[in-house]
Amino acid sequence: MYLATQSRIQQAVRDFAQRQWQLDVNVLISVPPQPAMGDMALVLAMELARKLRRPPKQIAEEIAAAARLVPGVARVEVAGTGYVNIFLDRAAYASRMMATTIAKTEVSTAVPLAEKIIVEHTNINPNKAAHIGHLRNAALGDTFVRLLRARGAQVEVQNYIDNTGVQVADVVAGFLHMEKKTPEDVARLIADPTIRFDYYCWDLYARVSKIFEEDKSRLELRRRTLQEIEHGEGDTARVAEMVATEIVRYHLRTMLRLGVEYDVLPRESEILHLRFWDQAFELLKQREAIYLESEGKNAGCWVMRQKGAAETAAKEIDSADATAAGDDTKVIVRSNGTVTYVGKDIAYQLWKFGLLGRDFHYQPFHTYPDGRVLWVSSMTSGQAGAPAFGQGQKVYNVIDVRQSYLQDIVAQGLRALGYQSEADRSIHFSYEMVALSPRTCELMGIELSAEDKARPFVEVSGRKGLGIKADDLIDQLIGEARREVDSRHPDTPDEKRAEIAQKIAIGALRYFLLKFTCTSVIAFDLKDALSFDGETGPYVQYAVVRARNIFRKLSDEGGRFDLSRITPELLASSLNSPEGDSFWQLLYLCSRWEFAVEQAVATSEPAAMAKYSFQLAQAFSNFYHHHRILIEQDPDRKMFLLWLVSVLDSHLTHALDLLGIEVPAAM
């Protein structure tokens, strides 16, 4: 509704500018700072003043005259130095809102929706439990997927599993060499219901890392373990497979608690064994994107020269600290013949665009409660019926900002292969890290160095075992919510209370992770995250719950909401009455949900959607306190108010759904 109206006005003004001044203008429409000033504002007159060498106010009058003719516009005013303020025909607008039910594919923009978009997110190394940093990735990725789907796009969600990397190797080395376990021992550990295997690995990983740190001579063990895993050999590979698969199952369970689901799990082991890399390697060599280094510290490696590196290379760098001197090449294949992450990722990106000329085999890995099947890449041709994965027209890679450099190199690899446009359509959806506030560290008994204490936040480190495990946090949030629910609803059945507490906890967590923009480091503070007041998920949920309570109470009293009694005349009289302004503002804000979606997608900022939902909840809370609906004497007015509440309910529920937040039955 909002976007359609907006584009109608844009079109009219653009046509007018074309006719009147033979100018091709971009008509920007904004919302005036105060509702009394109008519903939409044009600043075009001020922009054109110089070009037309005429006073902006005069130009504004002409634009206003054109805007007045647009259907749905009630009146237009020129204000200030040349603003064109548009007031919409409220009743007509409301009628059209009533005619359209809010649906997932309703955003009425002219974006090409036939394209298939691939979103890759989560990508946790399968060697330990997930922590809060991973939750931010998944919450952002999942919300972005929901936003894209709301616009009608076809989206495929991939969760890349690096099951052959160093991180898994470290845990495997820990099991086999530190703990002297056999594959059977590890299998028993996994089968033991009293042990959280992912938590066990969390600790083991920290221990192994410490030992490698202390004694560099043991790094040979890491190297050997890694190689055995890559080649799929013996006990090492068996244990790696067991560990990675089991941990992935834990990760999926954790993410499902947040309502996050995936379509396919492409695994690194298949990238290697199905020779994806060999194919990419051939391409890279053919196009001379990489070359075999014969001298220097990278002798024996296949390397890629970086963009603009030639001049840098020409300069002689004789500084002592060579690490700081900046390298101009990036190793793709190590001297021992193994491939680096960048190399594998180039192959993976090529596959995503359908440029590799190869495909995975697939097997079902898991069936979600809603019936959706999650597939995993596989060596052997598995079950029939797997969808056609990959072949995206656009790819979003949700990866934290610290990997920007590597992402750039991957994109450069694509360009070096001649895939310029694919590189442009492979987007690094970058976000800042989640760190811990010093206060939270203290609360958790984490000892801080004097250096760390002076910092505004402390970086999470899986390697050091420093961080908050995702499930621990969720459990704590549920506990906190449960206490509140118990005290408010002592008579509600236990099962119901558990469900309510769970939804509140998840709502709080997802909102907390989403309300910051991507460039903001979240200095995670336990107290803030556990709060259910103010700008939080529960505040927004509460608004919907109260809206629904009105309808529940209504039917308890034997009343009935009858949509057919909302006539155009009633809408007109209600919205144009002296107090109609406040009704209109609520209604208008509801209609702008699609703008929030557009904004969030265009800027890759799910936070915009979170902010919008909070704003809408706030507007309703205010409305709620000003109007006692159920005791309203005038039956027409009561119906109108009920209608407003129902519009709010559907829109806010939908907004929350896009954030992956459910509405509890009560609060």
Partner RNA sequence: GCGCCUGUAGCUCAGCUGGAUAGAGCGCUAGCCUCCGAAGCUAGAGGUCGCAGGUUCGAACCCUGCCAGGCGCACCA
Residues 492-511 touching RNA, rule: CB under 7 A, are 500, 504
Site for RNA in 620-649 (CB under 7 A): 621-622, 624-625, 627-631
Regarding 573 and contact with RNA (CB under 7 A), the answer is: no
Regarding 459 and contact with RNA (CB under 7 A), the answer is: yes
What's the closest the beta carbon of residue 9 comes to RNA, in angstroms?
A: 14
Q: Name residue, tokens 């989560």.
A: 122
Site for RNA in 37-76 (CB under 7 A): 37-38, 41, 43, 46-47, 49-50
Q: Closer to RNA at the Cβ: 63 or 433?
A: 433
Count of residues near RNA by CB under 7 A? 102
Among candidates 118, 128, 130, which has minimal Cα distance to 159?
118
Regarding 550 and contact with RNA (CB under 7 A), the answer is: yes
Regarding 231 and contact with RNA (CB under 7 A), the answer is: no
Contacts of 266 (CB under 8 A, 6+ apart): 158, 160, 161, 348, 351, 360, 377, 389
Instruction: With H, G, I as helix, E, B as strand and everything else as coil, classify residue 632.
Output: coil
Q: Closer to RNA at the Cβ: 550 or 572?
A: 550
Q: Following CA atoms 373, 374, 377, 378 in sequence, which dihedral angle do they give, to the nearest 10 degrees?
A: -60
Q: Closer to RNA at the Cβ: 191 or 299?
A: 299
Contact yes or no for 256/339 (Cβ under 8 A) = no
What x/- string results for residues 411 through 450 when contact with RNA is judged by CB under 7 A? ---------------------xx-----------------
Site for RNA in 166-205 (CB under 7 A): 166-167
**Which alpha helices (DSSP H) does 429-529 contain, by range?**
438-443, 450-453, 470-488, 494-514, 526-529
Residue 396, strand partner residues = 119, 427
| 664 Rama class: left (phi>0) / alpha (psi -120 to 50) / beta | beta
Tokens of 525: 């503070």
Q: Closer to RNA at the Cβ: 136 or 181?
A: 136
Regarding 607 and contact with RNA (CB under 7 A), the answer is: yes
Regarding 526 and contact with RNA (CB under 7 A), the answer is: no
Q: Any idea what DSSP says for residue 216? A: G
Among 27, 410, 481, 648, binds RNA (CB under 7 A): 481
Q: Which stretch binds RNA (CB under 7 A): 201-209, 254-262, 525-533, 575-583?
A: 525-533
Q: Closer to RNA at the Cβ: 181 or 510?
A: 510
Q: Which stretch binds RNA (CB under 7 A): 6-14, 242-250, 380-388, 484-492?
A: 484-492
Contacts of 119 (CB under 8 A, 6+ apart): 141, 144, 145, 148, 155, 156, 157, 158, 395, 396, 398, 429
Site for RNA in 10-39 (CB under 7 A): 28, 30-34, 37-38
What's the closest the beta carbon of residue 395 comes to RNA, in angstroms?
A: 17
Among 126, 133, 165, 467, binds RNA (CB under 7 A): 165
Contact yes or no for 462/170 (Cβ under 8 A) = no
Q: How many residues does the chain have?
A: 667
Among 35, 300, 354, 364, binds RNA (CB under 7 A): 300
Among 79, 178, 374, 572, binds RNA (CB under 7 A): 79
Q: List Cβ<8 Å contacts ≥24 apart for 190-195.
A: 190/242, 190/246
What x/- string results for residues 245 through 284 when contact with RNA is judged by CB under 7 A? ----------------------------------------
Q: Which stretch binds RNA (CB under 7 A): 112-120, 192-200, 420-428, 483-491?
A: 483-491
Among 488, 559, 563, 568, binds RNA (CB under 7 A): 488
Q: Following CA atoms 37, 93, 110, 118 in sequence, which dihedral angle do they give, to the nearest 10 degrees?
A: 90
Per-residue DSSP letters for 77-91?
EEETTTEEEEEE-HH
Q: Closer to RNA at the Cβ: 219 or 388?
A: 219
Per-residue DSSP letters for 114-158?
SSEEEEE-----TTS--BHHHHHHHHHHHHHHHHHHHTT-EEEEE
Regarding 618 and contact with RNA (CB under 7 A), the answer is: yes
Q: Which stretch binds RNA (CB under 7 A): 106-114, 139-147, 479-487, 579-587?
A: 479-487
Report the distance separating Cα 86 and Cα 83, nearest Å: 10
Report the distance separating Cα 170 and Cα 153, nearest Å: 40
Regarding 386 and contact with RNA (CB under 7 A), the answer is: no
Among 22, 101, 323, 380, binds RNA (CB under 7 A): 323
Q: Closer to RNA at the Cβ: 66 or 386?
A: 66
Q: Closer to RNA at the Cβ: 136 or 611?
A: 611
Regarding 347 and contact with RNA (CB under 7 A), the answer is: no
Q: Which stretch binds RNA (CB under 7 A): 235-243, 244-252, 469-477, 606-614?
A: 606-614
Instruction: With H, G, I as helix, E, B as strand and everything else as coil, classify residue 323.
Output: coil
Regarding 101 and contact with RNA (CB under 7 A), the answer is: no
Regarding 560 and contact with RNA (CB under 7 A), the answer is: no
Q: Following CA atoms 529, 533, 536, 542 in sequence, which dihedral angle do they give, to the nearest 10 degrees?
A: 130
